[in-house]
């Protein structure tokens, strides 16, 4: 899979994921909403480390320079 995420996109997703994880484990968000946010944070981390967002592919979005 070709990488289509730029550095800023990846860093932003990692920061949001870390924030969501902290909010969940400190009890700020809980219940079904907390679990949903935690799952989304996991997806954000996975996609950030891989560097390719599957949702970008159908729309032709690329935030990584030089991937035309």
Tens-digit pLDDT profile for residues 9-43: 999 999 999 999 999 999 999 999 999 999 999 99
Is residue 34 in some structural domain? yes
User: Is residue 17 included in any domain, yes or no?
Assistant: yes
**Domain membership flag for residue 40:** yes
pLDDT > 80? residue 1 = no
Residue 67 confidence (pLDDT) above 90: no
Question: DSSP assignment, residue 5?
Answer: -
3-state DSSP helix/strand/coil % of the chain, to nearest 5: 65, 0, 35
pTM of the predicted protein model:
0.85
In a domain, 14, yes or no: yes
**Is 30 domain-assigned?**
yes
In the numeric block, which tokens belong to residue 20? Answer: 């969501």
The range of the structural domain enclosing residue 12 comes to 7-51
**Domains in the chain: how many in total?**
1
Quick one: pLDDT at residue 68?
56
pLDDT > 90? residue 2: no
Whether 39 is covered by a domain: the verdict is yes
Residue 42 lies in a domain: yes
């Amino acid at each position: 899979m070709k990488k289509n995420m730029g550095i800023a996109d990846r860093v932003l997703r990692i920061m949001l994921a870390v924030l969501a994880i902290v909010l969940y484990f400190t009890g700020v968000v809980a219940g079904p909403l907390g679990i949903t946010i935690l799952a989304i944070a996991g997806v954000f981390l996975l996609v950030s480390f891989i560097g390719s967002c599957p949702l970008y592919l159908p729309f032709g979005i690329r935030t990584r320079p030089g991937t035309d």
